[in-house]
Amino acid sequence: MTNRITKKHLEHRVKLLNELFGQRTEAWTKCLDGKYRANPGTFVLDCAYGGYRLSRICNEGGGEHDLTARGTARETYYAIGAYINGAQAMKDAA
């Protein structure tokens, strides 16, 4: 029997990935004028049509660049894990 991978598991991994890369963990920031501005460079979890994928915000308007293909929760969990392992290897090598 395998353990189910939930959206909460994926969100936790995305938060860890943002911390490893020194990015904000929140995708949007509320400005003093009350408007929201996206945080470029932040990794986000895109959820649609029953699938998930890892994306990264690329501008202040909230545009996203897809980093992985859309897949199941388990596939996305392992894909995000590969990014985490790469980030940790970069830190260890520095």
> For 3-47, how does the pLDDT look when each residue is reduced to its tens digit (9 = 90+)?
999 999 999 999 999 999 999 999 999 999 999 999 999 999 999
- Phi and psi for 28 in degrees, rounded to 5? -130, 145
pTM of the model: 0.90
Q: Where are the beta strands (DSSP E) in the chain?
A: 28-30, 36-38, 43-48, 51-57, 64-66
| Contact (CB, 8 A) for 73 and 9 | yes
> For 61-91, how does the pLDDT look when each residue is reduced to its tens digit (9 = 90+)?
999 999 999 999 999 999 999 999 999 999 8
How far, in Å, are 51, 53, 72, 81, 91 from residue 61 at the CA level? 24, 20, 28, 28, 30
What ranges do the domains of the chain cover? 7-88
As a whole number of angstroms, the distance between CA 9 and CA 36 comes to 26
